[in-house]
Structure 1
Amino acid sequence: MGLEAEDDHTVPGTPGYLDPASFPSASITVKALYDYQARNDDELSFPKHAIISNVDSRAEGGWWRGDYGGKRQHWFPSNYVTEIEPQHNKDESSGDSLLLGNLQKGSLDVVGAVVEVVPASGGIHRGLECLLRLHNPSMTHVLEVGAETREEASEWMRTIKETAQSASVRETQHKAMERAFRVAKEMSVLIVYCRSVAFNLDKAKKRFVYNEMSSFPETKGEKIMCVQETPFFLKYHQIQFSRVYPKGQRIDSSNYNPVPLWNVGSQMLALNFQTPDKAMQLNHAKFRLNGGCGYLLRPSFMFSESYDPYDPTMLCGVPRVKVLLRVLAARHLTRSGRCTTSPFVEVEVQGADYDTGLKLTTKTVSDNGFNPTWNEACEFMVHNPEMALLRFVCQDEDMFGDSNFIGQATYPVSSL
């Protein structure tokens, strides 16, 4: 009895799996660890550091086969070599980053390289008197360059050795400098714009150094920048950077209010990003501007000599904004673990000290988180809209009169 194939795509007799051993193994390249002299005609002879290509390592008994010195697939002991990573050809379009453009096909590290001049053999070396042989332990192949005369080859060898010696001297000098200054070169090249220094008020008052930056814990930053030395730090932040970070006592990863420090010009305020509290919500709202790229230009009035973050009459050329707002309704307001909610909405402004405050609190809609409506309006002035953030908070009032957070949304007033 025979069986016919249900379609034309089945092939009788095809095995159900493929043996990986049936595929030819990818050829590898190895480098000789020791010299080896062949004992039989089917073996390879090679010096230390020789590169053997197209190696077949599937053979057993400690012997592999490969190509070297014009011989193909001859045997050699596997414990005399080590496998090296193959070099892939780079895209020719990358020539723009090379010194000589597409004319440059590669480069060699001559520091520690072995350079020698050897007589040229016949065959492919016909017409050449000498070969310049160069090898570096990091190279996968020995480089051989032909020369028509021994003088030319010797001149190249002398130039390469002088270049390698000069590079070695520079490397030694760099290492000595790293030990003397305790600064690694790799780390030093990353420090382009500023260096971190401990803040000294007396020294800072004598002169500003644009490429120096100081860090402050939040308690010191709020005290010295926002209270004691506000006029000084308004000028300081026109020239230098400051960083403020949470105090060590915040073991719960809570955050400080960044708004007052923004108002006096501090450029970098570190927050605990893992905590989505009010401070982090304000931070996200602040950097909604400029496409959310994380970088904002400070308003031009902050560079005015008359600017005072606590006095609205000192704002120069900043038009006030009148906000007319009506809270209409909401939909599907829920809290985890509760079937019903009694929501209400708070509207507040966070910004300059004279603008900050609660502007509206709606009535509570009892036991209706599905479609509560308020239809309540408010009107207020914002004297410094460039620094102001408008925040909407929806809360749930429980049976004890306590407020429980449901959700929020915060936006820069200047983007409305």
Structure 2
Amino acid sequence: FLHQRYPVILSIEEHCSVEQQRHMAKVFKEVFGDQLLTKPIEASADQLPSPTQLKEKIIIKHKKLGPKGDIDVNLEDRKEEKNQQGELYMWDSIEQKWTRHYCAIADEKLSFSDDIEQNADEDSSKEVKRTELHLKEKWFHGKMKEGRTTAERLLQEYCAEMGGKDGTFLVRESEAFPNDCTLSFWRSGRVQHCRIRSSSDGDTVKYYLTDNLTFDSIYDLIQHYKEAHLRCAEFELRLTDAVPNLSPHETKDWYYSNLSRGEAEDMLMRIPRDGAFLIRKRDEPDSFAMTFRAEGKVKHFRIQQEGCHFVLGTSAYFESLVELVTYYEKHPLYRKMKLRYPVTEELLERYSTEKDINSLYDVKMYVEPSEITPTVPQRTVKALYDYRAKRSDELSFSRGALIHNVTKETGGWWKGDYGEKVQHYFPSNYVEDLSSDNSAELENQIIEDNPLGSLCRGILVLNAYNVVKMPQGKHQKPFVFILEPKNSEDPCVEFATDKVEELFEWYQSIREITWKTTEEENRRKYWEKNQLIAIELSDLVIYCKPTSKTKDNLGISFNITSEFYPFYYLYTLVEILERNIKISPSSTGKLSSASFVEFLVALWNYKYMQLNHALFTLNGRTGYVLQPESMRNEDYDPMPNDSKRKLQMIMTVRVLGARHLPKPGRSIACPFVEVEICGSEYDNNKFKTSVVSE
């Protein structure tokens, strides 16, 4: 595409074995990438796309499977596919329970939403979890080892540093009374303790220090005594400063104080679910790491402790690791992934010791801060000009090349991957950035193509599974069906319905899809064996398959006259081969009827015959000749009378040299010049200079 951007047609004329054809198809995909045309530009179009739509595309011309090269013409069957939608239960093997999802079948895929109950819980979490508001407060220290002694030590140390204000306090779980908490506070130079009692009346729980004043939560109780005095027989005071709990994470089951990076990866590889996570202490001081699973890969985030804050990336500040985890349980951390499954010893026991080695994210040690909840894919740029490397650490590329994983560096030089070279330099003014322009469009296209839109959490390709009904039910659900993967290494997916009628509908819809796919695969294998055409190569043939120009092939009745060509060129590409002879005036007229309706002519660059060589000099030697604008005019008349022929051209030919040619015998022919014009019938003309006789 150095001189033009019109498509290139590769005519594969070979007699290779089926295995070699498969190899060819594989190499075509690897080398040509996105430029290889692998599907129609418009799936439901009733005529060919325009040359503009096919710009910078490589089109494969080859025989196609089937009795008439139509083995993949099963679009009508797919249009009749039943699009099943509704709610299903999915078995969560990690939490060991059924979760309810909205599911939909379309395009031979089953899409499912996030857990419906989980979303409902998140929406009403403030109202439902009011009794747990104190858990994320800095003054709540949870369960302490040697609780009373530890609380006194923390208060003494804090008051010694901050001045010992009366009312300085903390709240901890009671050692003597498991369901209650204890308020420890500083008064008159010493620590005192007061039990926060609780009483329940049905589903309602009340908390109090004195019998005559109760509260709905511990949080409300503490807030009240910050504003009002706590009165006892011996004293009265208000709660003032809170002793912060700097290490609430140490009591959490997702925190590991002595765990290496490799051990963390081993644990995450055993949990085949996005959203699994743990936090570990790193060797560096005041440094932690979150190891989690997203997009099927194990990744790491570095967390730095700066004073009393924990910083994730460069701008996400939290007062504790517990607050950090709580936040990202409700908001996406990486792409659309939320923290869902703490990696605990109990969770690890449910899974075998087998590890998913492919899940290791081994490109780099830690995810960059800029990748926290990113909205764009890895950056890609497109080359505007050719560039040849001047140093060994630079990239060489042609115009139109796509450079991936681009890192923008200062000084006008960026780094990226192209071909076999990884993270080499190239000039930034030679490229245009595609990521920012296309990311939103790409994400919108994915959402638009999916029946669940932005609610989609996962997709199952039904062709990769066999559907099986469970007559006895499973996991205490009576109406269950299972998707068993054809690849034994993949896990089963279990679904359940509330009614037997729903079970039958979902089972039938999935079974029809898998049955059609099996039937189609068998049919394709039959034709592959009989026609010796590889399925993989046949699938790459979109618009260009060899066929003869006959009414039998088109299935339409017509006479091959000038009326035939305008219709024919809308539905097929035509290869016109020039005869390897000198064109005479009698033969040029036969070409003109086709020339009237040719919109774009692609020329052979190696056939240096008379007309082809002349046409190839046009349009910058691109190999494409566009139909003149005058011929596209509605009033164009290919056979005008003499009165309408107004355009004249005067051409001057300057003869630079000639030579005498020998004739049979001993005579010599006199040189002459012959000028021939080939075009419409009224254009055809020929002039020959006079010849001097011997």
Greater RCO, CA 8 A, separation 6+: 2
Q: TM-score, normalised by structure 2?
A: 0.24
